[in-house]
């Protein structure tokens, strides 16, 4: 029998959390959880369709009103995260309403799924603008305020599609993969200022995923992949007691995993040719004893070691 261990409640009293795309779905569940644990939340959402068309400035306000009715502290913001002005205004909303910003959860997103030969450049760009550019712009707008006070938490939303690819989602996959690289860099630049940055790769039943996930779970995705089951991971990564940074976590239906980028030991050829590389293909692909570099320098370490021990051959 698994023993139940009492845990002290993780709270966010006095902290200010900015959450994009929080008018519904994952973002709203994040906001509701933060507010229930004492945080002031800024609900950002333009209220557009899944494809990013149209807008409803009341969507963010309705979500904020619901949180306030539950006893939480919230304000609404309907700025677009995909423009520098909109991102700056969003952070200004947090500063004006609550005097600061401690946590940013970049969650806003749209879908314009088409197979590779059918996706149009403007649809590719539109998805990157909301997911990747939006994450960058909001992060940049908040980073200076966090650096000035020596504290901050970023949680960005990647996707299994960005990690592994997915048919018909070249734009979405590219944007989500870009978010992983951005998160790693923010974690490096923020480290000496007490700023952490992590990403989640979630699967949850929302209006963006209900068709796909409904097929996988025979229509039971709403129960199996309840969006509320993702939010505790986001809150954990946002808490002041959590020192984890620069990581990606898979989370779906109560499952939480660490996702990491690894390199095989590979081979070293002082004078590589097509032929000697092809002859050692099995060694290159061998995953035994893989390496997990923490940064670009660490990924170059094996080459530097080979160079040091074979300098006479180079």
CA 70 to CA 206: how far, in whole Å?
A: 22
CB 65 within 8 A of CB 45: no
CA 96 to CA 115: how far, in whole Å?
A: 44
Q: Is 172 part of the annotated catalytic residue set?
A: yes
Which one from 151, 172, 290, 307 is the annotated catalytic residue? Answer: 172
CB 81 within 8 A of CB 44: yes
- DSSP per-residue codes, the chain: -PPP---PPP--TT-EEEEET-SSHHHHHHHHHHHHTT-EEEEE-----TTS-S--THHHHHHHHHHHHTT-EEEEE---TTSHHHHHHHHHHHHHHHS---EEEE-------B-TTT--HHHHHHHHIIIIIHHHHHHHHHHHHHHHHT-EEEEEE--HHHHH--TTBHHHHHHHHHHHHHHHHHHHHHGGGTEEEEEEEEE--STTTHHHHHHHTTT-HHHHT-GGGTHHHHHHHHSTT----S-EEEEETTEEEEE---B------SS--HHHHHHTHHHHH--TT-B--SSHHHHHHHHHHHHHHSGGG-
Token couple for 196: 């952490």
Rg for the chain (alpha carbons), in Å? Answer: 21
The residue written with tokens 């938490």 in the block is: 153
Active site residues: 172
């Amino acid at each position: 029998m698994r023993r139940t261990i009492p845990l002290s409640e993780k709270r966010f009293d006095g902290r200010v959390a900015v959450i994009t795309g929080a008018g519904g779905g994952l973002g709203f569940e994040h906001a509701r959880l933060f507010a229930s644990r004492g945080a002031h939340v800024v609900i950002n959402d333009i209220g557009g369709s899944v494809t990013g068309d149209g807008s409803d400035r009341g969507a963010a306000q309705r979500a904020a009103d619901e949180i306030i009715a539950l006893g939480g502290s919230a304000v609404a913001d309907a700025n677009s995260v995909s423009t520098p002005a909109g991102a700056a205004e969003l952070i200004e909303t947090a500063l004006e309403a609550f005097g600061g910003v401690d946590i940013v959860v970049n969650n806003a997103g749209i879908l314009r799924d088409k197979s590779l030969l059918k996706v149009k450049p403007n649809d590719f760009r539109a998805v990157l603008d909301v997911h990747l550019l939006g994450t960058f712009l909001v992060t940049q707008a908040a980073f200076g305020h966090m650096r000035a006070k020596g504290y901050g938490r970023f949680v960005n939303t990647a996707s299994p599609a960005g990690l592994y690819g997915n048919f018909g989602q070249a734009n979405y996959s590219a944007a989500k993969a870009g978010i992983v690289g951005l998160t790693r860099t923010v974690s490096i630049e923020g480290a000496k200022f007490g700023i952490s940055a992590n990403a989640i790769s979630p699967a949850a039943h929302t209006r963006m995923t209900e068709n796909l996930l409904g097929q996988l779970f025979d229509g039971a995705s709403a129960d199996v992949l309840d969006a509320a089951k993702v939010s505790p991971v986001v809150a954990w990564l946002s808490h002041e007691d959590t020192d984890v940074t620069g990581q990606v976590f898979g989370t779906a239906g109560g499952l939480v995993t660490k996702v990491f980028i690894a390199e095989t030991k590979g081979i070293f050829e002082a004078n590589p040719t097509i032929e000697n590389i092809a002859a050692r293909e099995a060694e290159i692909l061998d995953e035994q004893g893989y390496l997990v570099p923490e940064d670009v320098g660490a990924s170059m370490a094996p080459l530097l070691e080979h160079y040091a021990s074979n300098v006479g051959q180079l």
